[in-house]
Structure 1
Amino acid sequence: MRYPPEETAAKHERILEEAARLFRERGFDRVGVAEVMKAAGLTHGAFYAHFASKEALAAEVAANSVARGRGLIAEAGKAGSPQVQYVRSYLSRSHRGDPGAGCAMASFGSDIARQPESVRSAYSAELSRLFDEMAPVLSEAVTGAAAQRAEAIRLMSSMVGALVLARCVNDPKLSDEILLAVRRAELKRLEEAAG
């Protein structure tokens, strides 16, 4: 049975959303195709009408998840003092507590490094685009495209690392301490850069 293109596209998007959530919560290797399809409300057999393999799904999820992050940064750029808002939001308890809806970079962590080349390539390409797009938004005080990109890489590396560590520890006080220390340091750095 053939479905209208818009219905097929909606199903494809639902599969991507559920796979992204499950992969962020538990990792690529701990989630099966059947589980993704069940979460999307579809049959296991319908998977292959959308993706050639789980690896193809993982590559698309990796790319889309980072692209989603680019969209959030672009939205932050439309607000007043986007850097401050972004740092506060990113290094918050609510973001730490919801990996399924949070940043793919922190949720995927080192899991991406163990994925097939196609997944790593898709992720890498989107991550490079993310740095390019966030550079002018999150690095206003720095002049020059190369310096802005370097600052964007530094800022994201600091924040992603803090979020990963805050999620890894089982001591809530230590987790809060990690978030607070990096949030304060990054906000102070932004304040000093603003003059």
Structure 2
Amino acid sequence: MKVSKEKAAQNRAALVETAARLFREHGIDGVGVAEIGKAAGLTHGALYAHFPSKEALAAEALAHGLQIGHERMTRTPDGRAPSLSELLDSYLSEEKRDDIANGCAMAASASEVGRQDETISARYSEGFELMAAVFEKHLRAQKVKGDPREKAIAISSTLIGAIAASRAVLKAQPELANDILRAVRRAVGDIAGEKA
């Protein structure tokens, strides 16, 4: 039975959204195509009708997650652009750290992407450039001392690493996990030229 173009597009979107969530939760290598298909309400055969490989799906799912993250960084729910301070507070919050399924795709996949193919690395690189560009724009507007792009790259890398490290120690040492978020928030504020 032939599926309509509209239904095919819905199925593809369901696969991408489901894969993005599952990859954040379990890692790219921690989820199989059958599991993704089932969670999306489809067969793994349907997955291969849309994507030639799991890697192709992973690249699109990562790009999808990174786009959502970029939208969150550039627009608040009420439609305005968040301030630099709001961005930092939100990204380094316990709530965002604890919500792996809906959290930052960059932090969720940072260590894993290096073991994936070039297509996935390219999507991650594009997402990183977008993230750094958001911070660079804020730093230029604030006329911070030093190179705004270099500082934006440092801030982006630090935030991603902070979430990853905080998640890594959370089960064993919740207090340390929270200390990481607080310490990095202060340090990044210093890099960004925030007044104490």
Question: Shorter chain as normaliser: what TM range?
Answer: 0.7 to 0.9
1:49 equivalent in structure 2: 49
Matched, 1:122 2:154: no
TM-score w.r.t. the length of structure 1 is 0.87
2:174 equivalent in structure 1: 172
Q: Which runs of 5+ in 1 are unaligned?
A: none
TM-score w.r.t. the length of structure 2 is 0.87
2:110 equivalent in structure 1: 109
1:187 aligned partner, one-letter code = G
Is the contact between residue 140 and residue 148 of structure 1 (CA under 8 Å) also seen in structure 2? no
Is the contact between residue 91 and residue 159 of structure 1 (CA under 8 Å) also seen in structure 2? yes
Per the TM alignment, residue 152 of structure 1 is displaced from its structure 2 partner at its CA by: 1.8
Relative contact order, higher structure (CA 8 A, sep 6+): 1
2:31 equivalent in structure 1: 31
Change (3 A) 1:142 1:130: same
RMSD between aligned residues: 2.5
Is the contact between residue 37 and residue 47 of structure 1 (CA under 8 Å) also seen in structure 2? yes
1: distance between equivalents of 2:96 and 2:174?
14
The percent identity for this pair of structures is 40
Change (3 A) 1:79 1:137: farther
For residues 124-163 of structure 1, the aligned pairs below 5 Å read: 124-137=125-138, 139-142=140-143, 147-163=147-163
1:73 equivalent in structure 2: 73
2: distance between equivalents of 1:2 and 1:117?
34
1: distance between equivalents of 2:189 and 2:123?
31
Per the TM alignment, residue 4 of structure 1 is displaced from its structure 2 partner at its CA by: 2.6
The number of residue pairs the alignment matches comes to: 193
